Amino acid sequence: MPAPSKESFLVQLRRPLFVIIIVSSIAILVMVGLLINMQLNTAPPSYPASTQESSTVHANDSGVGQGYWHTAGAQILDAENHPVRIAGINWFGLETQTYSPQGLWVRNYKSMLDQIRSLGYNTLRLPYSDQLFDPGSIPNQINYTLNPDLQGLTGLQIMDKIIAYASQIGLRIILDQHRPDSSGQSALWYTAQYPESRWLADWEMLARRYKNNPMVIGADLHNEPHAPACWGCGNPKLDWRLAAERAGNAILAINPNWLIFVEGVDCYGPGGSTDVSPCLDWGENLQGVASYPVKLNVAHRLVYSVHDYPASVAYHTWFSASNYPDNLPAFWDTYWGYIYKEGIAPIWVGEFGTRLETTSDKLWLKTLINYLGTGASGINWTYWDWNPNSGDTGGILNDDWTTINQAKQAMLNPILFPLGGS
């Protein structure tokens, strides 16, 4: 055969080079795509402001409750200064080692939220732990056949999904730092493994992430602080009131529209001492507000919060008083109700619940519901809880995770406060 010409040789040379270039380009594009996909399915320490999905809210809503909320005296108001009332429920799980709202092993999350909305609740308190945001905290016990769009997501991305759909159907959301560690509750807002700096950084991340979503109405800074946590003692490592100011101001510097919910402690004595008796339920004692109020850099954002439970959950001597349950209103007035009645700030009973199996518990719940009052001027509340697997209270759901405990729901119906959005 004759030797190939120089021209034909160059043509043959270009062909493999062209193929190599094309193949290499495709390989690079595939790698870039994989890296993007990996980034979307991980939970880095900080995220940009809320994703497009989580910032999609009820643009067509009308009526009471729209926009960002603020306070005036003991009342919460919407963006148009209409009086509003938080009347909601807790759905736990993101704070536990499932790293997802519980019950998703038997139901779809949207079905859960639709049912909550249909019952007339207007707000979802969503507990989480700081450990949720660790790279090794993998969501589990989710039936992905029922929840296919949660497959492969981090705990934070599942939070995004819950918030996005709740926002879409008109449920407001309060984020609750329930505890630092997913394995159990802590007295303080920090632990050795999750220091205060991490607590603050996580709140700043969440404030930034959901900044553009007015359906996320605020931050419950720490669940049930209790001794050695104090109120007004002045020790920066123990004084919950001072820590709440630090966190609240850090959040408001990023997201000035959020309400800041500050729970009480359990023990309060002179100078903030915790060496007193009686001590109340964790988070229930707000006596210290009279002498040591929380001071935030943005006005009209502060809501004080308490939790209250019956004798079956946490026994105290007042449950055995001869005038029980008539003694309860004066008791609540002393420890937290005065804040509402004197117009100092709104009060939110962030947790209260019972299995409703004893006469004492039934009397307690009836008395508390009467104390909370009806209508927009009533005290704010979120019932504990939606989940039937809360050991000492059960839930609004029965053990089948589907049907409703009608006795509990019937007692709560008079204090519901539906808002626009359905």
Catalytic residue among 95, 224, 263, 284: 224
Q: What is the pLDDT of residue 241?
A: 98
Residue 35 has pLDDT above 70, yes or no: no
pLDDT digits (tens, 9 = 90+) for 275-289: 999 999 999 999 999
Q: What is the pLDDT of residue 32?
A: 35
- 3-class state of residue 164 by DSSP: helix
pLDDT digits (tens, 9 = 90+) for 170-186: 999 999 999 999 999 99
Residue 21 has pLDDT above 70, yes or no: no
Q: Answer yes or no: 357 catalytic.
A: no
Q: What is the pLDDT of residue 57?
A: 37
Closest of 372, 417, 373, 422 to residue 122, by C-alpha: 417
Q: What is the mean pLDDT of residues 86-100?
A: 98
Q: What is the pLDDT of residue 301?
A: 98
Q: What is the pLDDT of residue 97?
A: 98
Q: Answer yes or no: 351 catalytic.
A: yes
Residue 63 pLDDT level (bands cut at 50, 70, 90): confident
Q: What is the pLDDT of residue 49?
A: 37
Q: What is the pLDDT of residue 292?
A: 98
Domain layout of the chain by residue ranges? 96-415
pLDDT digits (tens, 9 = 90+) for 300-315: 999 999 999 999 999 9
pTM of the model: 0.87
Lowest-pLDDT choice from 30-44, 95-109, 137-151, 354-368: 30-44
Using a pLDDT cut of 70, give the percent of the chain over it.
Answer: 85
Closest of 165, 170, 209, 159 to residue 84, by C-alpha: 170
Distance CA 256, CA 235 (A): 27
Closest of 77, 167, 85, 89 to residue 124, by C-alpha: 89
Residue 239 pLDDT level (bands cut at 50, 70, 90): very high
Helix (H) or strand (E) run with residue 206 in it: helix 196-209
Q: What is the pLDDT of residue 360?
A: 98
Catalytic residue among 204, 263, 351, 357: 351
The residues with which 382 forms a beta bridge, in sequence order, are 88
- Mean pLDDT of all residues belonging to the chain: 88
Q: What is the pLDDT of residue 388?
A: 98
Architecture of domain 96-415: Alpha-Beta Barrel (3.20)
